Amino acid sequence: MRESFLDIITLCVTFATYLWVKPYADGWAHKIISSIRVATRIKRVGVQASEVEGAYGDEEEEGIGLSQKGPMFGDNRLFNFIGERFPELIENMKALLLKAGIRHESAMEEFMTTKFSSGLAIFIMILLLLGTNDFDIPMSLTCLIGIMGGVLGGHKLTDLNYEMVANQRKEAIDKGVPDLVDLLVICTESGLDLTKSIRRIAREMRTSNPVLADELSLTSIELEMIPDHRQVFTNLENRTDCLEIKTISKTLSQALEYGSSLSTSLKDLAVEAREKRMLAAEGKAAQAPTLLTLPMMFFVMPCLFIVMLGPVIIGMMNSFSSK
The tens digit of pLDDT for each residue in 19-50 reads: 666 666 666 665 666 566 556 655 554 444 33
Residue 59 confidence (pLDDT):
37
Percent of the chain with pLDDT over 70: 73
pLDDT in tens, 81-137: 777 777 787 788 888 888 888 877 777 777 888 888 888 888 888 887 777 666 677
Sorted by where each begins, the domain ranges of the chain are 172-277
Nearest to 170 by CA among 220, 212, 108, 232: 212
Could you give the CA distance from residue 190 to residue 192 in angstroms, rounded to a whole number? 6
Half-sphere exposure of 110 (CA within 13 A, CB side): 17
In tens, the pLDDT along 201-242 reads: 999 898 888 889 989 998 989 888 888 888 888 888 888 888
CB contact at 8 A, 177 and 148: no
With 0.95 as the threshold, say if the pTM is over it. Answer: no
Number of Cβ within 10 Å of residue 19's Cβ equals: 19
The fraction of the chain above a pLDDT of 90, given in percent, is 1
Query: 68: pLDDT confidence band, cut at 50, 70 and 90?
Result: very low
